[in-house]
Structure formats: C-alpha cells, structure tokens
Structure 1
Amino acid sequence: MSQAQQLANPAAAVTESYLSSIWSFWKRRRRAILITLGVVGVGVGSYVAYQRLHARLLADQQRIQRQQQQILEEAIREAEEKRRAEEEREDAQIRAHFESIQRIADATTLPSVLPHLRTQLFAAINLTALTDALFSSRQHGATAAAGSGAGAGGGGGGGGGGGGGGGGGEGGAAGGAARSALSAQEKLRIWEDLKVLSFCRTLCGMWSLALLSLFVRAQLNVLGRRVFLDAAVRSASSSSLQDPQQQAWKKRQLPMRCQHQFIALADYLPQIGLHALARDAQAFIAPILERLSLRDNVSLSQLLSLIHDIRLEFEGRDCATWQRYLLPSDNYLPADLAATSLAADASAGRGVSGQGGGGWGKVQGGRG
C-alpha cells in the first residue's frame, strides 16, 4: 500500500501492518507453532482418551462390584435360609421331644403317681373313723331297740321263773347296747367334723393334683432338656472326638444317681407336703364352715360360691407357702424318703437312660 493510500485510510493501514506482523511471525515461528499445536493436540487427545478409558474402567469395576455384591447377597441369603431351615429342624425336634414328654406325663407318669397321691390324701384326711363311729352307733341303736321289744314281750307273757329270767337277760343286753350308742351331742360333733373334713379332702385333692401335675411337668421338661442336650453332644462327639468343648460337656453330664434324686423330689408332696397342706386347709376352712349349719338347705350355686370364696382366700397366699408343699426348705429330701425313692427306682428301673425322648416313657413307667 502506498503512502498516499495509508494517509487516506489509516485503519486499513493498521490492519495490513498487523497482518504483516503476524505473517512475519508465522514464517519465523511456523515450526515451533506446529510442534506446539501438535503437542497440545496430542495432550488433549490423550486426556480425552484417558477420560473415556477411565470411565469405561470405572463402569466395568462398578459392574463387577455389583455382580460380587449380588453373589455375596445370594450367598448370605442361602446361608440364612440354610440356618433358618436348620433352626426350624432343631425347633421341630425339640418341640417333638417336649410334646412326647407331655404325652408321657399325661399317659404314664401322672397316672402312675395318682393312686399313691390318693392313698396319702385319704390317710392325711381320714373320714373312715368318723363314718365307722356313726355306723356303729346306728347298729347299736337298732340292736337296743330290738332288745327292748324282746324284753318287754318276755316279761309280760312268761309267768314262770324261766321266762322272766330270759326276758330280763335280753333287757340287760339291750340296756348295755343303748349305753354304748353315741349321744346327740357326739353325733353332732362327728357330723360337724365330717363337714369340715369333706370340704378339706375335696379342696386338698384339687390343689394337690394341680400342684403335682405342674411339678411333674416342669420336672420332666427340665430333665428332658438336659437329656436332649446330652444326646446332641454325644451325637456330635462321634464325628469330632477331640473337641475340648464337647469333652468338657461330657464331664458335666448328669449321673444316674443325680437323675434319680431329681425325679424323687416328686415324692415329697404325697409323702410330706400333702399332710402340711391338709393341716393348713383344715385350720383355714373350719372357721368359715362354722357359719354353715347342718340343717341349712344349700343350693348348688351357694355351694359353688362358698368353694369359690374359700379358694380365693386360700389360694391368694404367698407363693413361698405353696412352695413348701412341693419342696423341702433346703431342697434336699429327707434321708429315709430319698432312700425309699432310690430303692423304688432301682427295682422299677426308672430314670433317664440318656437316649433322648425315645426311651422316656419306658423308664418313667415305673413311677409311683
């Protein structure tokens, strides 16, 4: 561009000068600029490739982690299902074991001890002496009445000495029978005693049956649980004989004598506790029944209400009071009772064989 043109158009002149400088710079630095652009391009391309590769690797890693997590969750779920199935199987075994114990308690053990409980109850609350006294007095009264009639007939019709003597002898026998009969006061006292003792025997029979049933069930369940664990340890020890925990458990297994002593505790209620229960019940019931006269007409609803009131007050006592009917104060049977129970066990073969619930009914069948 000429000088005149530059003066005429200064902006164009500046632009042309600027472009000329750039072109001159490009010609001088073309190689360096191309190398720089190439390096920058390679760097950008490498960065983009790295980001894509990193994103792909991260996605693959996340996918692998998800797969591993799924595999782990499936393994945990399978282990949980297996553990739950094992627990359900063990629970079913334990439930079947204790159900068999309950059936044995209902069908074998309790029926075997109930006759003994009945005998001891009738011995503790004995009504035979009172009923025999009333029956004997009735017989003596009938004999006296018959003798009086015979004596009167012999005295009136016999004019001779023999007839009169015979009539007098029979009259004397009738007088002796009348003297041996009970008075009205004695009969009333006996009937009052029969009233109290009948209530006592009925209620004591109900209470003792409930206590013995509960105690025997708890006793068999406790011992059955221990026998079940012992059987499980023996079954597991067959595969691992050197396991120290199983060896230690085997040393803690209940000996047969200890099992006999534990089972013999059920004999305490019929032998000793029932007599204490009868004494306490009689002392408690007698004042209540004084309000009930023998001449009163008692309806069924009144009788049930009376029994309900007696039960409500007597059964509301402290639990320790009921415990002393079931167990000795020191939880040890008296020596004579323990020896008798152990001798009965030895002769009848009762006890726990350690074979679990299978042989329970057979070994418990000798109770009582």
Structure 2
Amino acid sequence: MLSLRNFWRRYRRTVFVTVGVLGSGYFLYKLYNAKRHRVAVLERELAEREKFIKAQMQAHFDNIQRIADTTTLPHAMDNLSSRIAEELDHSQLTERLQKAKGQPNSLTHSEKLELWDRIKILSFTRMVLSLWAMTMLSLYIRVQVNILGRHLYINTARDLGSSYSLVSPYLYSHFYVSHQILPFCSRRTHFANPDRIILSSSSLANADTIDWDDEQMYLASADFLSNYGLPTLISDVQAAATEILKGKKVTSAFNTTELHETIVLILERFKSLRSPHRWVNYMMPEDARFYKLATASSSDNEIPPEATKFYQLMMETQAVLASAEFGSIVEIALKAVLGTLIEDVVAQSGGSLTSGMALAKLLARVAQMGPMLLGEPSKNQFIQIIQSVPEVELFFTLLYANMPTP
C-alpha cells in the first residue's frame, strides 16, 4: 500500500499527462472521424446532384437539337429551296437549246455558245450557292436554338428556385466536353479562349424572361436569308462563278480533281468579295431593331427599345456568327459536305468523271446537286454529315453551356 502511494506521488503528473494526451487524442480522433463522415456524405450528395444535373442537361441539350432538326430547319430549308429554284431557274435556256436541235437554223453558233455559257454559270452558281446556303442555314439555326434553349433553361431553373441548376450549364459543359467530345476532335479546331465566355451564376440569375412574341420573332428570323439576304448572295456567288469559269469551254474535259478545284476556287473567290465576317449580312439584319420594326404589324408604330429580349438574342447571335470559332466551324463543315458531294457526282456519272467527261455533259449532274443539297433535313445526308462532325458538336455544346456576350 505504501509502495502504491509512493508510486502515485512520484508518477501522478506523468499519469495525468498521459491520460490527458490519450483523452485529447481520442477526442480529436472522434472529431476527425465525424468530420470525415460528414464530408463523405456531402461528397456522395454532390455526386448524386451532379449526376442529376448532367442527366438533366443532356436531355435538355438533346431536345434542343431535335427542335432544330424537326421544326425550325425543315421550314426554313423548304423556303430557301423554293426561292433558289425560282431565282436560278435555267429551264428556259435548256428548252431553247433542245428546240434548236430540231431547228438547226433557229440559233446561230454564237447564240448557242452564249446559251451554254449562261447555263454553265447558272448551274455552278446554283450548286455552290446551295452548298454554302445549306451549310450556313443549318449552322445558323443551331446557333439560334442553342442560344434560346439556354435562356429558356435558365428561366425555368430560376422560376423553380433551384440554385444549383443555375450553374449546371458550366458543370455540364466540362463533363460533356471532357468525356464525350474532346477525345474525338481533330486538332484543327482551335477555340481561342473558351473560358472567356463562361457565364457566372449571378449573370444567369439576372437573365430576363423571354417574351413569347420575342421568341417567335427570333426563330422566324431564320427566314432572313430567303427573304432578304438571297439577292445579294446570288449576285456575289454568280460573280465569283463567272470569274472562275471564264475560259472553261463546255467542250473541255472535266475530271474529279478539276471539278473539286473549281468549286473550291468559286467558294474562295466568293469569300474574298466581302468582309471577313461576310456571312453575317446574308443571314441576319445589320440592325435587329429595324428588322423587328419592319416585320411588326402596321398598327405598331413604335420603334422597339434596344433592351428588348429579341434585340438581345439577335445581338448574341451576331456575336457568335462574327467569331473566329464560328468561321472555323463553317470551313470544316463546308469541307466535309464538299467531299461527299463530289463522291455523289462521281457515283452518278458511273465513274466516268474519274477519267474525265465533257463539261456540257457534266452540267446536268451539277444542276441536280442544288435540289439534293436543299432536300428535306430528315433525309438530307449532307445536313447529317454536318451534324456528325465532332468539331461542330463541340462548338454547339460550348455555345449551349456558355456563350459570348456582345
């Protein structure tokens, strides 16, 4: 008993320190374990929330693309096809040549050459114009529906009071781009600085609600090319075709390579006729306020204010079309479509174009390409080719998730 008392007297401080250290360690361990458990629960909840957001955004993004394919694009493409067929019809010229076969003296040699030259210019003009217009219209409408869809998604999320949905475009873009699209993209595509167009959650929260009339007016502006921009577009393409085809006789032999080079040269010459962002003025009005005023009812004499949602949507669209990224996408899409177009012409010629055939004989097949390029979107292989290009898919995913502001 005495020895135990002496031991306690001698080592009690050590015992207290040891017990204190062990107790503190146990207490800290319990705190750490509890915190780790809470973190694990939060991480699990965050993972579930992000999974829900990704699924939600994927479904919404897919629906937006379907809207473009099944509603807006078919109407606009049909309108464009009718207008081009009306403006670039050369059937009367062909009929005059056909009649001249049965009446040898009805046309002089120079008149026949002039008719052939006009048919040559019109045939190539229609094909190149259809190629360019189909590509631009399909891309333009996708720009529209992705801009509008993103605004509508933000409005819906705000109305529901879902704070995490407001930042979901950012989360979705990083997941979708990183895991599904980027691995398949060519290094040719260069997005100068995608992060510069990220919208913050505060800016999303401040987005105005889209008025129904503004929404309908915005989607209807897809017909601007057919109703207003087409005359200038035809004039410019025809001028380019005339210059490139000058000196190419209808009796000259054309092969696959020469046909491809001729179309490329016409496109390049056409591009050089306008400013670097030449396509903007063909596709949309220079000032959206005057376009809205012109299309409004005659009883409405007020000039719409600059702050209307329609004007904002149009300015955002104009900023996208004028961007270097969009220009890169246009070039990639045109190149993809042109490759398939040449293959179709070769197939229709039975392979004879590979070795070479007279330009006069080729013109009939060239003329057939215009209506094919502007066919019904659901059956149009060229539109499907554009949509399947990885760089195009990447561009619109980024546009839907985060967009440049004018």
Q: Into which bin does the TM-score normalised by the smaller protein fall?
A: 0.5 to 0.7
Residue 198 of structure 2 is matched in structure 1 by none
How do 1:292-303 residues align onto structure 2 when only pairs under 5 Å count?
292-303=248-259
> Which of 225, 234, 238 does residue 282 from structure 1 map onto?
238
Task: Report the Cα offset of residue 337 of structure 1.
Answer: 5.9
Distance 1:329 1:105 in 2: 24
Task: Report the Cα offset of residue 108 of structure 1.
Answer: 3.3
Is 1:255 the equivalent of 2:211? yes
Task: Report the Cα offset of residue 124 of structure 1.
Answer: 3.1
Q: Which runs of 5+ in 1 are unaligned?
A: 1-40, 143-177, 238-244, 341-368
Task: Report the Cα offset of residue 296 of structure 1.
Answer: 0.7
Residue 273 of structure 1 is matched in structure 2 by 229
Q: CA RMSD in A?
A: 3.2
Give TM-score scaled by structure 2 length: 0.56
Q: Which runs of 5+ in 2 are unaligned?
A: 163-200, 298-406
| Alpha-carbon displacement from aligned partner over 1:155-184 (angstroms, at most 9, x marks no partner) | xxxxxxxxxxxxxxxxxxxxxxx6xx3332
CA change 1:81–1:302 in 2 (3 A) is same
For the Cα contact (< 8 Å) 2:65–2:142, is it kept in 1?
Answer: yes
Is 1:58 the equivalent of 2:21? yes
Equivalent residue pairs, number: 255
For the Cα contact (< 8 Å) 1:121–1:201, is it kept in 2?
Answer: yes
For the Cα contact (< 8 Å) 2:158–2:205, is it kept in 1?
Answer: yes
CA change 1:318–1:64 in 2 (3 A) is farther
| Percent identity of paired positions between Structure 1 and Structure 2 | 26
Distance 1:304 1:112 in 2: 30
Is 1:216 the equivalent of 2:141? yes
CA change 1:70–1:318 in 2 (3 A) is farther
Q: Kindly indicate whether structure 1 or structure 2 has the higher relative contact order, using CA contacts under 8 Å at least 6 residues apart.
A: 2
For the Cα contact (< 8 Å) 2:125–2:238, is it kept in 1?
Answer: yes
Distance 1:83 1:333 in 2: 48
How do 1:140-289 residues align onto structure 2 when only pairs under 5 Å count?
141=103, 181-236=106-161, 252-289=208-245
Is 1:320 the equivalent of 2:277? yes
Distance 1:55 1:102 in 2: 69
Task: Report the Cα offset of residue 314 of structure 1.
Answer: 3.9
For the Cα contact (< 8 Å) 1:268–1:333, is it kept in 2?
Answer: no
Look up the equivalent residue of 1:323 and give its one-letter code: V
Secondary structure at 1:126's aligned position in 2? coil
For the Cα contact (< 8 Å) 1:137–1:182, is it kept in 2?
Answer: yes
Residue 343 of structure 2 is matched in structure 1 by none
For the Cα contact (< 8 Å) 1:233–1:250, is it kept in 2?
Answer: no
Structure of higher CA gyration radius: 1
Is 1:117 the equivalent of 2:42? no
Is 1:68 the equivalent of 2:31? yes
Distance 2:293 2:117 in 1: 37
| Alpha-carbon displacement from aligned partner over 1:236-285 (angstroms, at most 9, x marks no partner) | 38xxxxxxx99x96992111111122112211112122222211111112
Moved more, 330-339 or 272-281: 330-339
Residue 305 of structure 1 is matched in structure 2 by 261
Residue 5 of structure 1 is matched in structure 2 by none
| Alpha-carbon displacement from aligned partner over 1:302-335 (angstroms, at most 9, x marks no partner) | 2123223333454577541111111211234635
Secondary structure at 1:320's aligned position in 2? coil
Residue 60 of structure 2 is matched in structure 1 by 97
CA change 1:337–1:211 in 2 (3 A) is farther
Give TM-score scaled by structure 1 length: 0.61
Distance 1:203 1:123 in 2: 16
| Alpha-carbon displacement from aligned partner over 1:17-72 (angstroms, at most 9, x marks no partner) | xxxxxxxxxxxxxxxxxxxxxxxx98x95573123212212221122212211221
